[in-house]
Each structure stands twice: as C-alpha cells, then as structure tokens.
Structure 1
Amino acid sequence: MNRQKILIVEDDKDILELMAEFLQAKNYIVDTATNGVECIKKFKESEYDMIILDVMMPNLDGYTTCKIIRNTSNIPIIFLTALTDESDQIKGFELGCDDYITKPFSFNLLVKRVEAVLKRSQNENKNTSLDFEDMSLDLNTYTIKVQDRVVELTLKEFNILKELIEKYPQVITRETLLDSIWGYDYYGDSRIVDAHIKNIRKKIGLPYIKTVKGIGYTLEKLEN
C-alpha cells in the first residue's frame, strides 16, 4: 500500500515538529511549511493527499490559504487552530475545509481525524466521472469531453456543470449556485451565474442547459 503524504502548515515550530514526528511514526510521509505563502509554493510543486493547516499565521493566514487552494483543488484540508468560536469554525467549513480541530488537541485524536478524512476522500474519489448524454466530466483531472471533444472549462464553470448533473432533473436556483460555487461570503450580483452559464453553453456547443425563467437552471436531454 502506498504511503500517504501530508503537508503540515504551522508557524509554531515546536508543535510542527511534534506533529510531523507523530504522523511519521504512523507511517505517513510528512512535509512541512511555516506559513501560507510557503504552503502554496509547496502545494504547487508537489502532490499531497492532505493538508493540515493552521489559521493564524504570518504572511498569509490559513483561511486565505485554503481559499486559494480551493480555487484549483479538492484536496482534503483539516484546520488546526486556537480559534474556538463557532463563527470561526463555520467560516472554515464554508471555505471548504473537511474538518476543524481546536488547540490544545490530542495527537491520537488528530490521527483518527486524519484517517477518517482520508478514508472519506478515497470513497468519494471512487466515483471518478459524471456523465450526461454526450458529456463526460472527469472528477480527478477536472476535464470534460463532449462527443469525444475535450472542452476547456474554468474551475467554476466545471463545478456549475457538475452541480447541474448531480442534481438533474432538479431546477437549481441562482442563489443555490452562488452559495455552493462562490461561497456564502459572496455578496456580488447573481448575474455572475448567468455569465458563467453563457460561457459554458458556448464552450460545450450543445443546448443541454435550460433556463427556467425567474428560477434558475436545469439540464435537458436532446430529442433524438
């Protein structure tokens, strides 16, 4: 079995060293960073199975680091922080973390949380594609084929299409798409959804996406 690789990001070097030693003793490969900037650099240069991320760090805090990573990846992220307020934890989950552990913490508990999140992630990754008519979305590589033609979509466009396929034949409101794709902290114009839908339609070249006036969008199968 391949050993899983974890990136730990923590500005307290004593805690960082202890976590690294403990996880290495549990047969994980461990890499470390002491701030968000270093984390982003290492994340772009290497492949990891998980990131354990402190929140309060110099240069780039954990929340911002998570948001940057979530623009391109669904890698499992566990926040590890002294921030214990419910609002802080809610913010972490809204940004896309998979778990949230508050300090002080037990190393044995940390390992159990790591194991649970990695297991859940592996189970989710077993379903590696989503299909609708002549469209096929690869959930590992974030690529899409339409009638065997590779189509270039941005991450947000990909996730909108993924949401529509997963929820088919439901009608998805603009507000639901804003919350799930842009996040609860987005307060801009909902017409940004319409602009992305327009781009998706143009790129896939087939009229699969149907507008439900005054509500939102759904998918529609083509008549033979």
Structure 2
Amino acid sequence: MIKLINSDKYNITLLYIEDDLLSRRLLEDKLRSYFAKVFIAKDGLEGLKLYKSEKPDLIILDVVMPNMGGIEFIKNIESDRKCKIIITSAFSDSNKLIELINLGIDYFITKPINFEKLKEAIDKLFYNLLLEQNINIYMDKLVKTISKRTIELNNQRLELIETKNILADKEKRYSDILNHSYDGIYINKDNKFLFANITLCQQLGYTETEIYTLNIWDLIHPDDKQRIIDYGIKRTSGEDVPNTYISRVLTKSGVIKICEFAVKTIQYENDWAVLGIVKDITDKIIAKEKLVQSERKFNKYLKSSPIAIIIAKKNGNIQFVNTAACLLLKYSETEILRMKIIDLVPQEYIIKGMRSFLQVLENKNIRHDDFQLKRKNNEHVDIILDAVKLNDNEIMAYCVDVTELIKIESKLEESLNTVSAKNKELEQFSYVATHDLRSPILNLKGLLDVFRKQ
C-alpha cells in the first residue's frame, strides 16, 4: 500500500530510466531522499528488466533513449501496467505527446527537470492515489463492518426468533400448567378478572368468555363479602392480615361452595394486581363434618359402653376414659386424664404391662389376657384385658372386671372341695357297711335256702 513514511518521504518503489548520466546523477540523490526504494536504469531495455523484477509504483522515464525508448517501453508494459508514469523530455513533438497521452501517461515534465515541479507532480499523483486507497480501505473496512454487523444482526434476529419461539413454547406450557392445575388461579385488578384458568371457570360454572365480564364481588357470598373487603383495605394500608382465608362463593347455578383463597399483590403488565389461588374445599369440609359427627357418635358409644375403655397415646398419656372405667378405678374422669397408663398398674404387673404396651405398638393385639389395675384406694382389681392399636399414636384398651367372677369361682371351688370330702366319707362308710354286714346276710340267705327246700 502506498503511504507516507513521514511528511517528506513516500513508502513506494520508484524506477528512474534515463540515458543521460549527468541527469541521472543530479536527480538520483534527491529521488532517494524522497522515495523508500529507488531503482535506476540507463535505457528502456534495462528498465524493462527492473520493472518485471521489482514491480515499481512509479516510473520516471525519458522518451528518447538508446536500445528502447520511452514509448516502446510503455507499450511493453501496457498489458499488466498498474503503476503511474511521468515522462521527462526536452522535445515537445505534439505527435509524440498525443501518442503518450493515448498510452495513458500520468504526467509530462520538460527538461531540464525542475525537482520542485517534479515533486509537485508526484505529490499530486500520489495524494489522489493515497486518497483513493484510503477511501478504498475505508470502504473495505466499512463493507466488512457492515457485513459483520449484518451477520451479527441476522444471528441476533435468528436468536430473537428462537427466543421468541422458546418463550411462546414456555408460555404455552405455562398456560397448560395453569389451566390443568387442580386449583383455580386468577389475576384481578379493579374487581375485574385479567386472567382466569379453566379450573376456576369449571369451579364457578362459567365459560371463559363469561367470567371476564364478571365483577369478582358478585361471586362472594353476601355474608362473607364485608370480611373480605376489610382484609383488602387493611392489606392496602400495610396492616398485617392473613394471605389465606376461607370464604363461600356463589356458582352460576346458585350452588354455594366453600373455598380457600390464597392471595398476593403482584406486578402485572406494569401495574399492581392481585394474584389469587382458589381451592374448592366443599367436599373436604363436608367430609370433616361427617367425621366429626362420626367421632361424636363413636365417643358417645365409648362413653356409654358398659365395658371400661381407656385410650392412651404411645408416650403413655391417657387421653380418653369412659364412665365405666372411672367407676371401675374409682377415679374421676379429670383425675384419670392427668395420669399415665403406668400409674394405674400395680407394681407386680409393671413389667408385664410394659411388654404388653410395646407389643400392641408393634401391631400385635392382646386378646383376653389376665391383668390387674390399681384403684384410687390402691385396691387391686382383676380384669380381662383386650388392647388394639388405633393408629400410629394411640392404643385402646378394653377392661372387663372379673373380681366377682373370681370370688364366685373361689367359692365354687371351695364347695367342690367340700363335696369331694363328703364323697370320700360316704365311700368309706359304704365300704365298712358292706364288709360288716356281708356275713350275716350270707347266713340269712343260707337259712332261707334251707327253709325253701323243706
């Protein structure tokens, strides 16, 4: 590339062809101070060899020279010429000048050569060339920059399209997740729905089109409306209010449902809105009420059962006792509920009681086991014990008082022993009586036989 090495010297290769020795020597030193590389030839033929080997950027040559003149030289390099040419000549033949112009020379200077004029001509030639080269370089850089930026923008466009597709896919999947949620989800602003998923529409019995026309307060049961409004006012003023609450809602068909609301204030489309999650707990509440009723019936049955029943936690704390158990142990219900199960076990039965307790915790029920409990007056009461595991935390024991039965069995055993003794006495009497009366009876029998024969 042609450029200035400094403000006085060009970084170009110069070929100077001049047959006159004096002219060559006068101009050579000045040219070497002005150009980075200078090659000298004494005629066109020698100059042609240097042209082919050195590929100069500028040629200064005479017109009339031995071996090969300037015009012939130019014609020889015309096919691949890329350099600038300055002609120097003492002649002003118009025909030759026209021929030189037609050959495309860049400048013509008459001899004797004035170096300042030559320098001025070179500056004009190469200033334009430098300007053109700089423009070309700038244009090349600009084209490369534009091309690079175009590729970058195209890549960004492709990335943007890909990102847009990914976002659209994620939005669709997110929408599918929201719509297939088991809970109703909505976004509300100024009492209007900005978003409502399919589940919420199904919970309330409205279509997606209908629900966006509703005022949210039209769905809240009148008896619960003021309470929910108060929550909203307090939340807006910064007071601490629950984000989760239960309210009744009215469906399109007029059915009342019990729902659990979880609400939170969010930024939505550059404005504040309320995000809500609605869980239909109607069936859960109904089931819970039925369970409570069932538990009440069960507790009533347990309370009124003629069999003593005690329920204890796995840590031994008694948490339920019925009337029969209180009568059996001679404690009040309040007293027993403050005790552990081990407090009701006599000392000699503690080890057996602990083993039985652990056995039940391992899901091994106890059936008709002989056991004893300790009453309030420290009197021991004999029982038949049955125990089962209700759940992971509770054990229930059935206690049947067999004290009177044991007494009856004891009396019966005493009676049996007495009868047995009497039977033995009778057996002894029978033996003695049989032995002592045997001979007289035999004698009488013999006498009777004699009388019968006579």
Normalising by the smaller structure, the TM-score range is 0.5 to 0.7
Whole-angstrom CA distance in 2 between matches of 1:63 and 1:127: 31
**Uncovered stretches (5+) of structure 2, i.e. residues with no partner:** 6-10, 138-454
In structure 2, what is the equivalent of residue 109 of structure 1? 117
Given the alignment, which residue of 47, 62, 78 partners 1:54? Answer: 62
Question: How far apart, in 1, do the equivalents of 2:45 and 2:20 lie?
Answer: 15
Do the aligned partners of residues 124 and 71 (structure 1) sit closer, same or farther apart at CA in structure 2, a change above 3 Å counting? farther
Q: Which amino acid aligns with 2:76?
A: I
The residue aligned with 2:53 is 45
Alignment partner of 1:79 is 2:87: yes
Contact 1:82 1:104 in 2 (8 A): yes
C-alpha distance in 1 between matches for 2:87 and 2:67: 17
Offset, 1:11: 0.2
**After superposition, where does 1:182-197 map in structure 2 within 5 Å?**
none
1:16 alignment partner in structure 2: 24
Contact 2:63 2:70 (C-alpha < 8 Å) held by counterparts = yes
Q: How far 1:105 moved relative to its partner?
A: 2.6
C-alpha contact (below 8 Å) 1:50/1:118 kept by paired residues:
no
Give the AA of the match of 1:40: L
* Deviations 1:36-94 (CA, angstroms, capped at 9, x unpaired): 11111011111311000111011111001011112111210001111213322221111
Alpha-carbon distance, 1:111 to partner = 1.0
Q: Distance in 2 between matches of 1:27 and 1:9?
A: 15
| Bigger fraction of residues in helix | 2
Structure whose alpha-carbon radius of gyration is higher:
2
SS in 1 for 2:38: strand
Find the aligned partners of 1:100 and 1:61 in 2 and give their Cα distance.
15
What whole-Å deviation, never above 9, does each CA across 1:107-127 have from its counterpart, x for those lacking one?
111111112112233344454
> How high is the TM-score relative to the length of structure 1?
0.53
8 Å contact 2:13–2:35 — kept in the other structure?
Answer: no
Q: Looking at both structures, which has the greater relative contact order when contacts are Cα pairs under 8 Å and sequence separation is at least 6?
A: 1
Distance 1:14 1:4 in 2: 24
Instruction: Find the counterpart in structure 1 of residue 128 from structure 2.
Output: 120
* Structure 2 residue 110 is matched with structure 1 residue 99: no
d(CA) in 2 for partners of 1:124 and 1:90? 27
5+ residue gaps, structure 1: 129-224
Distance 1:99 1:55 in 2: 13
8 Å contact from structure 2 (residues 19, 65) kept in 1: yes
CA distance in 1, matches of 2:131, 2:81: 17
The residue identity in structure 2 corresponding to 1:116 is K
Amino acid at match of 1:55: V
Root-mean-square deviation (CA, aligned residues, Å) is 1.8
Structure 1 residue 95, shift from structure 2 partner: 0.9
- Which AA in structure 1 matches 2:75? K
Q: Distance in 2 between matches of 1:5 and 1:94?
A: 25
Matched, 1:35 2:50: no
Q: Are the equivalent residues in 1 in contact too, given 2:14–2:56 (CA < 8 A)?
A: yes
Answer whether contact 2:45 2:67 (CA < 8 A) is retained. yes
SS of structure 2 residue aligned to 1:101: strand
Letter in 1 for 2:12: Q
The separation in 2 between residues aligned to 1:91 and 1:51, in whole angstroms, is 17
Alpha carbons 1:70, 1:96 under 8 Å: kept: no
